[in-house]
Structure 1
């Protein structure tokens, strides 16, 4: 879990970059504006992104299609590493990222109030102002909140110079109302997001290219918590509209590729009262996604799919043991429309899946515990996997789908040792994830005569991912804190006997933090020195490329100062303090562009 303080400390333009600090989690980036979470080597449709528990559909089958979620407004970001299909269904085969905002306030037992928070920051690395204003209030059981975030950025600066056409702009607004009483609680949330993201092309091939994307996302969530005796129901209804437009040049208003999806979600969960010491959830979930296309280019046919799932998840405490078990059944029906240009005829496809998990935590002795999890996950093939038949500019390939693809299924095992003491908190874990029917693009050796791109056939095989993660935090003294993490993932296509592409190399991070007196006139002063070391990836797919390994140094400091009746916090960060030249292995620009150089971030925040 990334706490509220950690979310703001690592706040970035993309969700992937914000959570990149967690062990086992990386950022698959297209510049600074597009960042997709990578969990244990898996991303896109294998990592499910949620906003307050609501599934986010953002055409994530595209490498350059990032999730439209504002991490800067989150109270916390929850990350599940490993399959979580029992609770979330398809696509959670690699893990889950849930961006959670603060609960709505209420004034039960106190007077009505109105307050809020304001945060502003500026980054020198791309001349990016960034700010969030939140206003909230309550009267008895009624509460409301409104929030607005805006940021704009110029071209990214690297140690070798600026990356032409790499800026962006984001506007995000949300409003929510709710009521809490003896009958339960209910809430309504609406958010709107607009992004404009410039794409930096290889200057050796297209030196003056100015492609960009415009993405708009609207999200509505209606929820209720209803007591039923000692049990209670959670009901969540959601709607999302995601409209993506891609343009080939700055001056053009002609949409090259247009994608529109509408998603409807339903989740009903009964949290039942313990029965002989066993408590848990019984739930049903429904999903409908309808897809339309527009613009000059076409890549996949118009389609819609409907899904339904039923699941049970139970937990029990037995002495030193905490045991959990879960099971789920899912049904999905895909309806595809005629598309003469792609050579697709109208057809239907159905998919079924049974998933489950077993978990055990054994408290060896305070403060040590052993944790074992076994899980089965799945992912249904997307319309892109099944029916794509054309040039995909995002991957610079001609990609050809296969309508006979089956569900991906996985068996995952995790084993970890946890220590939670007063001075030391640590976790060391290993994992193995075996995936059957793993979907991947296979080079055909043929060239599309019109585009000149190589043709890749979407096919299936088996894959295996193994690795470890560790995190240690040592509070050496009230003023001195040490933290370190390390993670490694090894991915192998066992059918082709070749490494999987885009598997991040070994990484280690380390931080020393000094904290001052919290009660002095200068409150909560701190200073930290940290860094990260990334190895060079030596296990490469035949189509892949690996930059050199590198080490970066980061500095940070800050304090809070009373100003009248308010407390104003000032934080400074210096990222890549020595202006190191490097390219991250998971950057889609790595063949022709460096990652950002030295970046000073100044952040000011207060509550009112």
Structure 2
């Protein structure tokens, strides 16, 4: 590996290129007039600009080679084209008017294509869209993406579920690096704020080829906000009020780009009291979150790098039963106090037609959990001797001791990929990825032992372009070693591959077929747990003899699209060998039921189906309908736990833009969730329900700057219901009742 990197770095030093510039004009295909404020973005180089009033643009300091340019603006079809640099003449790009929504680049797949050019089907939503639909948290917002749900513990804790798979079977990427934060726990949330995140991408299915172990079920890829375009700057302030929890969220950010340097920063503070239902407030669902993100970057004609940092501190109440009814925002016991640091660097070196990407990450997760007989004074340190000290809150005084459970997880990961020069119709990427992870205990209780985990993987993947067919294929080898302090040492190996084909059957019909294998090595909790997991009220016993999970999934996607009508059908069948699950054995230890980790083959199948109608000449009117279904079974036909219920969503949305309001919209949504009677042996079933949502928003000019207003409401009928993936379901505790969000954003 060291020789490989040194060789490439030597090439970078000895390859000197002159500075190149692209100039051109973007015009309307019908009127031939220049278009202003069109976004011009080089996807490989991650550099862009906007056209001026005449439609002219210029981008400087570019490396030699062939690169992809994406040209986009609302109201026109997005265009993707390749240009070879250096180029002497100005280029002219024509865009055709279109009611189809503007396309964006998919970052989570290796070749950074538009979704229409992608072999793999990837769902993408902007954070702005998720928030305008009324979502309160990031975990809440992702449930608006087809095929994605969330396992929740109240409002503040949620973890993604992709087509029935969750926890360590779904890998989360943030700032371009894999997020590691003890995600094995059922009550362990994302630990990531939606502040400073531009968009969310979801790969539904095995992604081990691209990301290794733990990507067996899919990827949740969080794209950070972009730096400012060259020689520009911007800032914004926002505030959101939530009626149900009497909560608030404040946000401020600034970014600037001068010559070759760029930087940004963003801060966020969020507080919520216990959420309200039609009948009661759910005690201790309150939480407080503080988040800060910063980034600095440098770019010249043949090299670019950026460094980002995110610190997130969350103080999360753990609900147990309906008790105190208050609107206080300070969590009661028990609660979690979690600090998550994410350091990442992303570097690209451009050669003549090829590119080397080096992504490095360091994640420091500090998790403290406090119980009834422990204090939660954050000024206490684990090294101090126990002493009696009074702590007053509105209802009680507790003795200050220390966190019952205190774990620190330190993870270093690396991802090095080399994009070979294009060879005819072939684009090829080779790479290595790896991770070193250390888990340490500092609390008086221990759920999982001190241990070190090391990963190493090597991969190769190619994209082959034909006139009406695109093919993507690849292979990968992975090795994972888990070394536990008490002497357990396990090594897991796996070979995986993927093959996909996208074919344009007609001008309007596209078909995709993807076949992929994936794997997941047992995590530290599954192998070694031996203790009470307070947050889940289980005494968990690990199994050192567990094997790796291995799966094979078939995905078929059909899509019809014309200027005013779209329809899609996505189906999948996922066969998993050695599926790991928890099962009670009937024993009791420390007044807590004992659960064992077992294995059995399993299968999941289902899909998403929907349509989008925006009829001519009413291009401002949109009607969307989608249906989601997934079934999960063990080999003996027993149902798997935590499988989301089938649901159907219907949305009517209107868009408007005039002299006094810009980017205006209004919507109404009805989501119908069906009964879930297909349950595992130790689950309870749930009834069906309907939730009505609505919202309106737009932008105004205030003091020559843009002020955006968004008003939205969820569960407008104040329905009492229980989601099947709520961890409060066994106690019959309802999900959140009616909630109205009001968000104001002022761009400086």
Shorter-chain TM-score bucket reads over 0.9
Who is 1:337 aligned against? 485
Who is 2:550 aligned against? 409
How far off its partner does 1:106 sit?
4.5
Who is 1:342 aligned against? none
User: Structure 1 residues 156 and 267, CA, compared in 2 at 3 Å: closer, same or farther?
Assistant: same
Structure 2 Cα separation of the partners of residues 209 and 601 of structure 1 = 25
Structure 1 Cα separation of the partners of residues 323 and 634 of structure 2 = 33
Q: Is the 8 A contact 1:73 1:132 kept in 2?
A: no
Q: Is the 8 A contact 1:226 1:233 kept in 2?
A: yes
How far off its partner does 1:118 sit?
2.0
How far off its partner does 1:401 sit?
0.9
How far off its partner does 1:275 sit?
1.7
Structure 2 Cα separation of the partners of residues 92 and 467 of structure 1 = 19
How far off its partner does 1:134 sit?
1.0
Who is 2:317 aligned against? 198
Structure 1 Cα separation of the partners of residues 236 and 442 of structure 2 = 40
- Residue pairs, 1:318-397, within 5 angstroms: 318-338=466-486, 346-397=487-538
Q: Is the 8 A contact 1:23 1:471 kept in 2?
A: no
Who is 1:98 aligned against? 221
- 1:493-537 superposed Cα distances (whole Å, 9 cap, x missing partner): 11x431000100101111111222x13212233221111000110
- 1:280 corresponds to 2:420: no
Equivalent position to 1:302, from 445, 450, 458: 450
Tell me how large the CA RMSD over aligned residues is. Answer: 1.8
- 1:259 corresponds to 2:407: yes
- With 297-306 and 36-45 compared, the bigger mean Cα shift is at 297-306
- 1:559 corresponds to 2:707: no
Equivalent position to 1:271, from 419, 425, 430: 419
Structure 1 Cα separation of the partners of residues 235 and 322 of structure 2 = 45
- 1:399-447 superposed Cα distances (whole Å, 9 cap, x missing partner): 1111111110000000110123211233211101000011111222222
Equivalent position to 2:738, from 583, 598, 604: 598
- 1:293-333 superposed Cα distances (whole Å, 9 cap, x missing partner): 12122111110111110001111112211111011100111
Q: Is the 8 A contact 1:16 1:38 kept in 2?
A: no
Who is 2:159 aligned against? 36
Q: Is the 8 A contact 1:263 1:287 kept in 2?
A: yes
Structure 2 Cα separation of the partners of residues 181 and 191 of structure 1 = 25
Structure 1 Cα separation of the partners of residues 142 and 316 of structure 2 = 20
Structure 1 Cα separation of the partners of residues 356 and 332 of structure 2 = 53
Structure 2 Cα separation of the partners of residues 497 and 524 of structure 1 = 50
- 1:6 corresponds to 2:134: no
How far off its partner does 1:606 sit?
2.3
Q: How many residues align?
A: 593
Structure 1 Cα separation of the partners of residues 217 and 134 of structure 2 = 24
Q: Is the 8 A contact 1:553 1:576 kept in 2?
A: yes
Q: Is the 8 A contact 2:678 2:685 kept in 1?
A: no
Secondary structure at 2:536's aligned position in 1? coil
Structure 2 spans left out of the alignment, 5+ residues: 1-123, 377-397
- 1:532 corresponds to 2:671: yes
Who is 1:23 aligned against? 146
Equivalent position to 2:655, from 499, 506, 515: 515
- 1:547 corresponds to 2:691: no
Structure 1 Cα separation of the partners of residues 322 and 708 of structure 2 = 42
Structure 2 Cα separation of the partners of residues 408 and 348 of structure 1 = 18
Secondary structure at 2:284's aligned position in 1? coil
Structure 2 Cα separation of the partners of residues 595 and 236 of structure 1 = 40
- 1:175 corresponds to 2:294: yes
Structure 1 Cα separation of the partners of residues 447 and 701 of structure 2 = 57
Who is 1:457 aligned against? 596
How far off its partner does 1:556 sit?
0.5
- 1:399 corresponds to 2:504: no
- 1:117 corresponds to 2:265: no
Who is 2:637 aligned against? 497
How far off its partner does 1:267 sit?
0.6
- 1:207-264 superposed Cα distances (whole Å, 9 cap, x missing partner): 9973110000111111211012201011111101001000113645521111110000
Say which structure is richer in strand. 1
- 1:194-213 superposed Cα distances (whole Å, 9 cap, x missing partner): 000001112489x9973110
How far off its partner does 1:13 sit?
5.1
Secondary structure at 2:680's aligned position in 1? coil
- 1:471 corresponds to 2:590: no
Q: Is the 8 A contact 2:510 2:558 kept in 1?
A: yes
- With 96-105 and 257-266 compared, the bigger mean Cα shift is at 96-105
Structure 1 Cα separation of the partners of residues 696 and 133 of structure 2 = 13
Larger Rg: 2
